[in-house]
Chain A
């Protein structure tokens, strides 16, 4: 990861990241870009992003993902290591990809298929920029 090293609490998390994950988080933090990879040959979009296409092995290009999508599934975490529990953890459909993030709304107010938009949130404890989902 470029720039200053992340603070100590993220040491294992960041240490274990593969190059594609490092680039995913670099784009979020430095460019405000929410992107994943797509195969240059077979046009298949991957999430998580990958260095090579899982389908055909060809190189990948980075493509922007839409900032609006629909809640695919959501729950709450009683013990969330970096969030004031309970956080609402969700998988959201953003174009051809499904990404995890934290929903900024009470669990009871949400429904599967509900439209949300992405708000990037910088986490001071990890130094990472993460996805937040706001009901539309």
Chain B
């Protein structure tokens, strides 16, 4: 059971969000981008830097050599005396779990204003590492994939997801044309998001005509290696009331991890019970049902994986998500809008910042600041992040707070 929820006196409230556009930021370090994002988040919350009492960060990405003891370097740049200073790492869920750490400190009454930052700016570095024979970096990545995938040359998540995608199409006899409807919808959603990396409309033919990057996954069904950053300011409900801040209160948290690294060997590659369990936990803590949700931001990262995630979360029966997407059930105005931000495929995917970008989308939707993509009357939202090849998941329920 998580340490905070509806029944606690002190509830954490997301009171600010900032993020530079996802895409390319040559010459900027991840910390530069993260602190830009924090400036924006604080400005939007109406607070200044001196209000920040804790900083929750993540490592600066995967392919770059890590800056040692990164949190202190961030603290030095801010020049603030802090009550909390931590870095959280767990693959794709890293900044989601940094957000959790911030919420816990707020819920426990340890502090009232927490800044969560995540950033990744290594597109160029990653490519150079591959092209210029930076063997050390490549070998570090292969070690990340562990003792049973690394030796076979696996250095990205792509082939792992491709194995699962193949089983998904095979086990449920799903037509590739149906899967391709998802990237098309996400691209349409991204058109209304000024932060999105990809905003030009695409068609099913474009998706299926794009290069196969690892069969059966096409380029337009896979995320790009984006630069990006995001910051979220979490405050206590008490402070939010006192300072008349609007925001999104965290009412539920759920989390479940399989005992595996990337691939849950020997288990069904089309079903992810950890995602379902974390969703159930979060909804139960929030005393909410799936029908209460006005929108969801779901990690996904690859088209087939995103559809399997919808199913694992209990929004659709196994093998049914692609057809539901094609019918418009997850589009704005549908039964449950999912990834109105454009999702990983069109918003763009800087993994170390992605969960904060997703929390930010909920913040904007729940405070009616989402502009063109605003979902009318959005009051209850859910955000889900995963790590590895969907072998672990964290979920939060957020609700409008004014």
Do A and B actually bind?
Answer: yes
A residues near B (Cβ < 8 Å) are 9-13, 15-18, 21, 24-25, 47-48, 54, 72-83, 87, 89-91, 96-102, 107, 112, 123, 126, 128, 130
Which of A13, A78, A112 lies at the interface centre, i.e. has the most chain B CB atoms within 10 A of its CB? A13
**What residues of chain A lie closer than 8 Å to B147, measured between beta carbons?**
13, 16-18, 21, 24-25, 48
Which residue of chain A is the closest to B135 with respect to CB atoms?
A9
**What residues of chain B lie closer than 8 Å to A99, measured between beta carbons?**
148, 265
**What residues of chain B lie closer than 8 Å to A21, measured between beta carbons?**
147-148
Interface-lining segment among B30-38, B111-119, B155-163, B293-301: B155-163
Which residue of chain A is the closest to B212 with respect to CB atoms?
A76
CB contact under 8 A between A82 and B163, given known A13-B139, A16-B147, A73-B269:
no
Interface-lining segment among B46-54, B164-172, B186-194: B164-172
CB distance from B22 to the nearest CB of A (A): 23
Given A78-B213, A80-B152, A81-B139, 16 further pairs, Cβ under 8 A: A13-B147, A13-B150, A73-B167, A75-B215, A75-B216, A78-B214, A79-B156, A80-B155, A81-B138, A81-B141, A91-B263, A97-B266, A100-B263, A126-B151, A128-B151, A130-B151
> Can you list 28 A-B contacts with CB-CB less than 8 angstroms, sorted by A residue number?
A9-B139, A12-B139, A15-B143, A16-B147, A47-B266, A48-B148, A73-B164, A73-B167, A74-B166, A75-B214, A75-B217, A76-B159, A77-B214, A78-B158, A78-B214, A79-B153, A79-B156, A80-B155, A83-B152, A89-B163, A91-B265, A98-B266, A100-B148, A100-B149, A100-B265, A102-B152, A112-B170, A128-B151
Q: Are B152 and A101 in contact (CB under 8 A)?
A: yes
CB distance from B31 to the nearest CB of A (A): 25
**What residues of chain A lie closer than 8 Å to B265, measured between beta carbons?**
47-48, 91, 97-100
The CA-CA distance from A92 to B155 in the complex, in Å, is 20
**What residues of chain B lie closer than 8 Å to A78, measured between beta carbons?**
158, 213-214
Q: Are A91 and B153 in contact (CB under 8 A)?
A: no
* Contact bitstring B214-235, A, C-beta under 8 A = 1, else 0: 1111000000000000000000
CB contact under 8 A between A83 and B153, given known A48-B265, A77-B159:
yes
Number of residues of chain B lying within 8 A (CB) of chain A: 37
Other-chain residue from A76, A81, A128 in contact with B215 (beta carbon distance below 8 A): A76
CB distance from A131 to the nearest CB of B (A): 8
Q: Are B152 and A12 in contact (CB under 8 A)?
A: no
The 7 closest A-B pairs by CB, nearest first: A80-B153, A75-B162, A12-B143, A21-B147, A73-B163, A98-B266, A81-B153
- List B353-385 residues whose CB lies under 8 Å from chain A: none
**What residues of chain B lie closer than 8 Å to A112, measured between beta carbons?**
166-167, 170
**What residues of chain B lie closer than 8 Å to A15, measured between beta carbons?**
143
The CA-CA distance from A87 to B116 in the complex, in Å, is 40
Q: Are A123 and B156 in contact (CB under 8 A)?
A: no
Q: Are A87 and B163 in contact (CB under 8 A)?
A: no
